Structure 1
Amino acid sequence: MSSARTTPGASHHEDAVGTAADGSGLLTYASLVDGKNVPSDQWVYVVDSDALLQDAFSSLTLKRKLESGRLSPEELPGGSIVGRVARADRETVLQAVEAASRATVEWNAFPLDERLDRFGALLHRRLTEQADRTIEILLREGHPLALARWQVSGALECFSPESLAFYRSQMLHESRHGERRISVRRRPDGVVCLNPPQNAPLSSALLGVTSLMAGNSLVVRAPRSAPLGVMYVLHEIVAPVLEELGAPGGTLNVVCGDPAPMLSAWLDSPLVDDIMYFGSSEAGIRFQERCVAAGKKPILELAGNDTVVVWKDADLEYAAEALTESFYGSGQLCMIPNQVLVHPDVVDRLTALLAEKAADVRGGSVRQEDVLLTPVLRNEKFFACLEDALSSGAELVCGGHAIQDDGTRDTAGIFLEPTVVLVRGLEGARKVQAVRHETFFPLLPVIAAEPAPDAVLLDRFVDFVNSNPYGLRNSVWAGDPEVVEHFVTRITQGGLLKVNDSHIGFLPGLPTHGGTGLTGGVYGEANYPVLRTSHIQGVSISDGGIRPREAVFGAWQAMRGEDGTAAAGA
């Protein structure tokens, strides 16, 4: 049995890198600070997803006993706990920031070819080589197989050759102006701290890794509720690539701990420049204010409330299939469809298709191919939201119950049926809570627009999408090219717009995250961290043969001509 790793590039065990040396057999990770593992006497334990499915209460009780020290790892029953991560104290958190600060100057001095092109290519190769192992880690942490593959697919697109070429095109533009070499380039902000979400932390951590390409250093907080995937991908995939490039140890640091004290430590530190924050819109907007007051750049990834538009000539079969993405992960993904705006001519056909396809979305063991639902241990908000919709006049199309993993309706079930409600009329639709705000449950409202001429409906649909206070992703299903062009030209809300395509699928070069309004805060836009954590700098280089006075009036003299008269065409 191998011991826990001590350096980022150390060789790893065939089955699980970082297996504990205490005989427990647990996949174990310490904090990674300045290229070294930092031990701790406190641990966060990860419950096996199947054990949670069989007996959630006992599994969570066992986790609490381990973390409080009332039970030792050697006393563990087999298979119920699959990993543990060191819980960092304040000193370790501050050491991570200091290490990042020391590394920034040296890492930024690496040529762009090295820290963007080569780093990205090596990372893509390692992600490909480790794809199966990464999926296995995600399964252990409770992500269904299909969604684990989805996350890995997104990571591969993020570092694909096409995406790297796009990043490169935005980082540096060079030209000549007479004897001068002119460049517009993006420069790193410095130390970037990342607080990923608990629902998809591994893919969010990899998104943050792109900030390294700009020359920043990075500190990542692995969330206590799901730390294993973050620790795995940063220890075993990213850190070895940085080591191969010769990057300083503090370029990447990862610690696990409670969010509030860690965020406060980052805000208080004069060494931190940017903080990338995932969370609810309410908390995120407050955090944005704290960042600005502390002189930090806030990069927010908050709630989404995505709209899907279905026009009368859409391929309804495909549209309904894409809409079932609303139920993936039991609706607890920020970038899924959250509401559907439908042309009145096709409402009945679409809702019938959607109900049929929703019945095939089910829960169960994460290792089963067709499982897409995840457990919802606290479901009272789902039923309150559903009751609000029905009491507001919405019609229940399908779902509405708690279920067991075999689909049997049971008030004690830890899964929720995929649920569709029909809201008739745009007027007043946002009075329904499930339309107004992100639900974060498998509850999808379909909004049937009032009958009107198509020209009127087009404008009403655009206005409805653009008036959404959130703005992550939007998508449109339509056949008429003129209708498509109308939507593409006029929908300005959101960080991504997709037409006749999967709402959550990833594409090279396009953003995976980012948005406007309550999704991205005051500075919200499509989130490319390599761009968001850097700033524009213009550079002019002359060989010294230009007189300063000539440079001051160069454009004026060119306009007037050498003899002082107006040049032709001026």
Structure 2
Amino acid sequence: MSSARTTPRASHDEDAAGAAAGGGLLTYTSLVDGKSVPSDQWVYVVDSDALLKDAFSSLTLKRKLESGRLTPEEAPGDSIVGRVARADSETVVQAVEAASRASVEWNAFPLDVRLDQFGALLHRRLAEQADRTIEILLREGHPLELARWQVSGALECFSPESLAFYRSQMLHETRHGDRRISVRRRPDGVVCLNPPQNAPLSSALLGVTSLMAGNSLVVRAPRSAPLGVMYVLHEVVAPVLAELGAPGGTLNVVCGDPAPMLSAWLDSPLVDDIMYFGSSEAGVRFQERCVAAGKKPILELAGNDAVVVWKDADLEYAAEALTESFYGSGQLCMIPNQVVVHPDVVEPLVALLAEKAAGIRGGSVREEGVLLTPVLRNEKFFACLDDALAGGAELVCGGHAMQDDGTRSPTGIFLEPTVVLVRGLAGAREIQAVRHETFFPLLPVIAAEPAPDAVLLERFVEFVNSNAYGLRNSVWARDPEVVDQFVTRITKGGLLKVNDSHIGFLPGLPTHGGTGLTGGVYGEANYPILRTSHIQGVSVSGGGIRPRDAVFGAWHAMRAAAAGTPDA
């Protein structure tokens, strides 16, 4: 097969490519084998502004709709913006079976179709649908700035530079005499993806890169935030696959409860890889279940990212990057979670950080500049803050719940961006907010004990590398020798950035992936096209090589070189 088919397969229904009308609601069914699969059970998405005005009533309305005690027509006003079919167990099985049937045929497509053409078409369609994608994310409750951030990451993931990098890793070819030698990556088969609820759309698109390796894909849209996943897979990815003539089961998407679906994937002999997002504690247990079931676990777990600020850092820019800790109320895995600061610049950095944190606010997701999201249960935040203060940390700013207008209130659904100052590296990890990911807008700044710079550099490197987690790390420093030391010696984590946004996306670099409690025992930078494939070596000869000569080829070459004679 040398080129893409120009006619889509008939298995891709028109209504599977977009939203169906459902009483005025944006409505999506399951997508299995290119067909729309209906259901008599639905997951409803509450309007984010309605949730902001009255969270209790909005969530009560959602429960009534999903239990069948209320119909969509009976819902007040515009409080419900969409619904997604809830897949039953039979549909879940059908999705895996469809993926299994499709995987062999899709893998037979040449790499320039699966990777180059698919990636380029997808990038173009993502760009064309960027405004619509942002609108869907807004409906689901993602603040405008964070919706733009997700779309930006998706565009970088499929940018020409990223596609070129993927291509370089998928196939390497050389000549050895009469032989054509290649090292190539082959697909694992059926990949199942369980994205998180905090940024499911971008995580689903990350998993889509596994298709470029020749795998087929089954995605579970999370019940708490299914709309973006369903939209981008139904209306952006599936039409591109259809245009290339991919079999219908190449991509399947269902929505349902995580526990039974994960168990079904583990029990199925047709599933090869499972990409799992979740807490480190749950993820490590799931990893053991995967290995026992013969599946490859690809884990995206908690992050506890460290930022180093050296004495010559641009403090203005560093402080701005550190405020990324508060984006989404800290409920993103790849944000700064702890800061290690050279003792010479602690005070000015903390002052700048507090000043900038004061400008981070909550509100309607459609407002420019809103970066905080509601935190409906905040008792863990206050317990973590109390632990830090009891351990000797100093409260720099924040520490209260507040209303969307910034007014402090015990019943507020937003949390103030909070900074605590921890004095001394020694014993810093006795504080819970330093030792573990908090998933709240709570950032500990650790002021290192005064010491010569050579000693401090050693301590900073050791502190970062001894982190039990390892998603992203970043460094702020100007001295080239200091930068080189950090780049050379920081080995933990899937990504290291220097003098840059901690959460910003760059072409060719991973968006996810890490070591330790972030990625499990197989953890590394997560390029799903690579992690859902395996290396295979291939040698193709024209047939003119005697096997015995091949067996001892290197020996003969060595002897000929030693004798100074041509290798016969």
TM category, shorter: over 0.9
Tell me the SS of whatever aligns to 1:242: helix
Deviation readout 1:135-154 (Å, 9 max, x if unpaired): 00000000000000000000
Partner of 1:42: 41
Structure 1: distance between partners of 2:32 and 2:530: 25
Structure 2: distance between partners of 1:180 and 1:11: 42
Structure 2: distance between partners of 1:10 and 1:133: 26
Tell me the SS of whatever aligns to 1:474: strand
Is the alpha carbon distance of 1:7 and 1:357 closer, same or farther for their aligned partners in structure 2, counting shifts above 3 Å? farther
Partner of 2:11: 11
Shift of 1:496: 0.2
Shift of 1:227: 0.2
Instruction: Give yes or no for contact 1:7–1:36 (8 Å, CA) kept in 2.
Output: no
Is the alpha carbon distance of 1:207 and 1:8 closer, same or farther for their aligned partners in structure 2, counting shifts above 3 Å? farther
In the alignment, structure 1 segments of 5+ residues that lack a partner are none
Shift of 1:75: 1.1
Alignment of 1:313-462 (within 5 A): 313-462=312-461
Instruction: Give yes or no for contact 1:9–1:243 (8 Å, CA) kept in 2.
Output: yes
Instruction: Give yes or no for contact 1:103–1:217 (8 Å, CA) kept in 2.
Output: yes
Structure 2: distance between partners of 1:152 and 1:57: 30
Q: Which runs of 4+ in 1 moved over 2 A?
A: 1-21, 565-570
Structure 1: distance between partners of 2:424 and 2:274: 41
Shift of 1:567: 2.5
Shift of 1:20: 4.9
Deviation readout 1:41-100 (Å, 9 max, x if unpaired): 000000000000001011000000000000011212121000000000110000000000
Instruction: Give yes or no for contact 1:3–1:18 (8 Å, CA) kept in 2.
Output: no
Shift of 1:30: 0.3
RMSD: 3.8
Deviation readout 1:285-316 (Å, 9 max, x if unpaired): 00000000000000000000000000000000
Instruction: Give yes or no for contact 1:231–1:254 (8 Å, CA) kept in 2.
Output: yes
Instruction: Give yes or no for contact 2:308–2:475 (8 Å, CA) kept in 1.
Output: yes
TM-score, length of structure 2 as denominator length? 0.96
Structure 1: distance between partners of 2:67 and 2:467: 44
Is the alpha carbon distance of 1:17 and 1:251 closer, same or farther for their aligned partners in structure 2, counting shifts above 3 Å? closer
Is the alpha carbon distance of 1:72 and 1:299 closer, same or farther for their aligned partners in structure 2, counting shifts above 3 Å? same
Structure 2: distance between partners of 1:47 and 1:309: 40
Is the alpha carbon distance of 1:54 and 1:7 closer, same or farther for their aligned partners in structure 2, counting shifts above 3 Å? farther
Deviation readout 1:307-347 (Å, 9 max, x if unpaired): 00000000000000000000000000000000000000100
Tell me the SS of whatever aligns to 2:329: helix
Is the alpha carbon distance of 1:34 and 1:169 closer, same or farther for their aligned partners in structure 2, counting shifts above 3 Å? same
Instruction: Give yes or no for contact 1:339–1:445 (8 Å, CA) kept in 2.
Output: yes
Partner of 1:479: 478
Alignment of 1:475-554 (within 5 A): 475-554=474-553
Is the alpha carbon distance of 1:48 and 1:374 closer, same or farther for their aligned partners in structure 2, counting shifts above 3 Å? same
Deviation readout 1:506-555 (Å, 9 max, x if unpaired): 00000000000000000000000000000000000011111111111111
Is the alpha carbon distance of 1:15 and 1:186 closer, same or farther for their aligned partners in structure 2, counting shifts above 3 Å? closer
Is the alpha carbon distance of 1:70 and 1:341 closer, same or farther for their aligned partners in structure 2, counting shifts above 3 Å? same
Deviation readout 1:470-490 (Å, 9 max, x if unpaired): 000000000111000010000
> Is residue 173 of structure 2 the alignment partner of residue 174 of structure 1?
yes
In the alignment, structure 2 segments of 5+ residues that lack a partner are none
Identity %: 90
Is the alpha carbon distance of 1:494 and 1:151 closer, same or farther for their aligned partners in structure 2, counting shifts above 3 Å? same
Instruction: Give yes or no for contact 1:224–1:257 (8 Å, CA) kept in 2.
Output: yes
Instruction: Give yes or no for contact 2:326–2:371 (8 Å, CA) kept in 1.
Output: yes
Shift of 1:9: 9.8
Structure 2: distance between partners of 1:401 and 1:162: 44
Is the alpha carbon distance of 1:17 and 1:36 closer, same or farther for their aligned partners in structure 2, counting shifts above 3 Å? closer
Shift of 1:457: 0.1
Instruction: Give yes or no for contact 1:4–1:28 (8 Å, CA) kept in 2.
Output: no
Is the alpha carbon distance of 1:161 and 1:3 closer, same or farther for their aligned partners in structure 2, counting shifts above 3 Å? closer
Q: Which moved more, 1:438-447 or 1:74-83?
A: 74-83
Shift of 1:3: 34
Instruction: Give yes or no for contact 1:5–1:17 (8 Å, CA) kept in 2.
Output: no
Partner of 2:561: 566
Q: Which moved more, 1:7-16 or 1:486-495?
A: 7-16
Is the alpha carbon distance of 1:87 and 1:306 closer, same or farther for their aligned partners in structure 2, counting shifts above 3 Å? same
Structure 1: distance between partners of 2:17 and 2:73: 19
Structure 1: distance between partners of 2:6 and 2:362: 39
Structure 2: distance between partners of 1:235 and 1:14: 10
Shift of 1:558: 1.2
Tell me the SS of whatever aligns to 2:522: coil
Structure 2: distance between partners of 1:148 and 1:510: 20
Structure 1: distance between partners of 2:33 and 2:237: 14
Shift of 1:7: 14
Tell me the SS of whatever aligns to 2:561: coil
Tell me the SS of whatever aligns to 1:308: strand
Instruction: Give yes or no for contact 2:183–2:537 (8 Å, CA) kept in 1.
Output: yes
Alignment of 1:130-149 (within 5 A): 130-149=129-148
Q: Which moved more, 1:316-325 or 1:550-559?
A: 550-559
Structure 2: distance between partners of 1:280 and 1:296: 19
Q: Which moved more, 1:540-549 or 1:375-384?
A: 540-549
Deviation readout 1:109-160 (Å, 9 max, x if unpaired): 0000000000000000000000000000000000000000000000000000
Shift of 1:16: 13
Tell me the SS of whatever aligns to 2:20: coil
Is the alpha carbon distance of 1:129 and 1:16 closer, same or farther for their aligned partners in structure 2, counting shifts above 3 Å? farther
Structure 2: distance between partners of 1:222 and 1:96: 13
Instruction: Give yes or no for contact 1:418–1:443 (8 Å, CA) kept in 2.
Output: yes
Is the alpha carbon distance of 1:347 and 1:14 closer, same or farther for their aligned partners in structure 2, counting shifts above 3 Å? farther
Instruction: Give yes or no for contact 2:16–2:34 (8 Å, CA) kept in 1.
Output: no
Structure 2: distance between partners of 1:32 and 1:71: 26
Structure 1: distance between partners of 2:409 and 2:523: 42
Query: Across the two proteins, how many residue pairs are aligned to each other?
Result: 565
Is the alpha carbon distance of 1:12 and 1:135 closer, same or farther for their aligned partners in structure 2, counting shifts above 3 Å? farther
Shift of 1:10: 11
Instruction: Give yes or no for contact 2:18–2:235 (8 Å, CA) kept in 1.
Output: no
TM-score, length of structure 1 as denominator length? 0.96
Is the alpha carbon distance of 1:160 and 1:140 closer, same or farther for their aligned partners in structure 2, counting shifts above 3 Å? same
Structure 1: distance between partners of 2:231 and 2:382: 36
Is the alpha carbon distance of 1:421 and 1:483 closer, same or farther for their aligned partners in structure 2, counting shifts above 3 Å? same
Structure 1: distance between partners of 2:454 and 2:11: 64
